[in-house]
Amino acid sequence: MNIMLFHSTFGLRPAVRAAADRLRAAGHEVWTPDLFEGRTFDTVEEGMAFQDGIGKDELLKRAVLAAAPYSERGLVYAGFSLGASIGQTLALGDDKARGLLLLHGTSDIAANASVDELPVQLHVAEPDPFETDDWLSSWYLQMGRAGADVEVYRYAGAGHLYTDPELPDYDEEAAEATWRVALGFLDSL
């Protein structure tokens, strides 16, 4: 499978590269574009300030430019938190998308979004301050109306970015469960 993996608001950190290596070891081809052009951050606040300075439109433009050379192959879009949001936006706009793997994040859905049974898998903490229960219920219904085939996995007690071992949110048990399920999902596509 061809996977475009987008980083979180912390930037292209070692955990993202390790995730890409894990996916490659499972036989997938993976690209990890650096939407922050080399910048990484130690706190959410620093990353969000940088992200806000770039602007959502510019981040999406960078993501589209990174994915464009590979989109004809049929990509699985994937990402961590901010990267999941970006991946979702691209997948919903790419009629050749093969799947969507969301780790720790979602995004708004355009009212006219339409996909043909796009396989989607979301992994998120429970509770998650950025992905509230009410939001996730609404998101799930909207994705279903758009035509996506959605699976949601919640991890009780884990922190928001629980798959990154360098962050306080890290939860080894939840991270390993996430990767086990996600790899099965990717193998099914």
pTM of the model: 0.97
Averaged pLDDT score across all residues of the chain: 97
- Give me the pLDDT at residue 86, please: 98
pLDDT at 82: 98
Give the residues of the chain that fall short of pLDDT 70.
none
Q: What is the reported pLDDT for 172? A: 98
Domain boundaries, the chain: 2-188
pLDDT at position 126 is: 97
Long-range pairs, 19-23, Cβ under 8 A, ≥24: 19/80, 19/163, 22/179, 22/183, 23/183, 23/186
Which CATH number is 2-188's, of 3.40.50.1820, 3.30.160.100, 1.10.1660.10, 3.20.20.80?
3.40.50.1820
Residue-wise pLDDT tens digits, 103-153: 999 999 998 999 999 999 999 999 999 999 999 999 999 999 999 999 999
Contacts of 11 (CB under 8 A, 6+ apart): 34, 36, 39, 40, 41, 47
